Amino acid sequence: MGAPLKIAIAGLGTVGGGVVKVLAAQGAELRARAGRDLIVVGVSARDAKKARGFQVENFVTDPLALANSDADVVVELIGGDEGVARKLVETALANGKHVVTANKALLAKHGKQLAALAEQKNLQLKFEAAVAGGIPIVKTLRESLIAYEVQAVKGILNGTCNYILTEMEASGASFAEVLKEAQALGYAEADPTLDVGGGDTAHKLALLSSLAFGVAPDLSAMTVEGIQHITPADIHFASEFGFRIKLLGVARRTPSGIDQKVHPAMVRARSPLANVDGAANGVLVDAGRAGPFFFSGRGAGEAPTASAVVADLVEIARGSHTPVFGRPATGLGALKPAPADAALSPWYLRFEVLDLPGVLAEIAGHLSQSGVSIESMIQRGRDLGAPVAIVMITHETQQSAVERALKGIAASDKVRSRPCMIPMEAA
């Protein structure tokens, strides 16, 4: 039996508290798997007196003190891409301590630099908990699916958005109504912008892209769109066409570079990603000749995320040494972004127009002029002169062509609201 692995934990919120509890409750099993004891020698949080349901020992007020303690590993669960979290990770690595973190924002912004620092010191920087909670997608991309080039990664990576879209579909309620309910239930933050605007998914996708394609994480090369504009009507029409709407993070190889997008997308109702409901996450990996692989599970919460943190700690206790992003930091290339039109797709289009003679011909004319052809259409009739929905599915086409057509259509005095366009993803 080796010497104990001494652990310091910064942040005792949902995840940090879960880590402390599982280390205490599962000590014998973890010792058997790791070949040594895993012991907590220091913790830090904002409030030392807060009731947490477990005993807090070796508390320090300043989390940076943990980087100067006798710990072998510092677990950073503070969050944020700058400030104390970044300083703690950098100082811990500089002081010869391994780091485990769930901080996707920090790694999406500074991942290559932190990986280089860790590898220079022959230390581990692990982050399984940063993406998709308890789903072991980081280890899978870093170590398992490496025989053939990964062609694409597509994922439902934010439980808040998936919960909202699932509930909108089930209840017919609006985005605003379901968001309010999600906040009351604790599924959404008081300020939900990072989640519903797609930013949280973007951070996670940047890490998956790095692992899949051997490039440095790069948020600047990504287009990001949230779910705020999705309506119950869109969800209903998607169902009529045999699709469901999901917020996806998509990264794929193209002949001209890596295409990275976060956007609401329509996926076929029978596909694996379409059937990830509630606050769950799901990831679909196209591993080239090895085939497609699908992973799903709880993407957040105490137990799944703490499980991912502890799994990283056990690997460190065993003496596992792998490059942070699957290849040495010095070998991570700059991400070459694909042009916006590199990936063709069909599109869902919805128009709210006055039900007047000639309006459909006008819309069709703009689409035709831009080279956009229609595969199928639904039109609902109402009282003459009242707004009516016209919904179309296009054949595969470039995004710029659709946007060009919609710009002309939106200028018409017969169109009563901004046209909606949602890509359709093969998944």
Q: How do residues 177-211 score in pLDDT, each as one tens digit?
A: 999 999 998 888 889 999 999 999 999 999 999 99
Structure tokens at 88: 């703690």
- pLDDT value at position 383? 60
DSSP state of 126: E
Catalytic: 414? no
- pLDDT value at position 224? 97
- Measured distance between the N- and C-terminal CA atoms of the chain, rounded to whole angstroms: 47
Q: Which of 112, 126, 154, 204 is catalytic?
A: 204
Query: Each residue of 70-128: pLDDT tens digit?
Result: 999 999 999 999 999 999 999 999 999 999 999 999 999 999 999 999 999 999 999 99
Cα separation, 140 vs 154, in Å, equals: 14
Strands (E), 255-345: 257-268, 280-286, 292-298
The rounded percent of the chain whose pLDDT value lies above 90 is 80
- 389's CB contacts (< 8 A; 6+ apart) are 233, 237, 350, 351, 352, 378, 379, 380
Q: What is the 3-state secondary structure (H, E, C) of 26-45?
A: CHHHHHHHHCCCEEEEEEEC
Q: The whole model's pTM is what?
A: 0.93
- 175's CB contacts (< 8 A; 6+ apart) are 164, 168, 227, 228, 229, 230, 231
* C-alpha separations of 126 from 80, 97, 208, 422 in Å: 17, 12, 14, 35
Domains of the chain (ranges; CATH) run 5-133+304-331 (3.40.50.720), 138-298 (3.30.360.10), 347-425 (3.30.70.260)
Whether the per-residue pLDDT at 380 is higher than 90: the answer is no
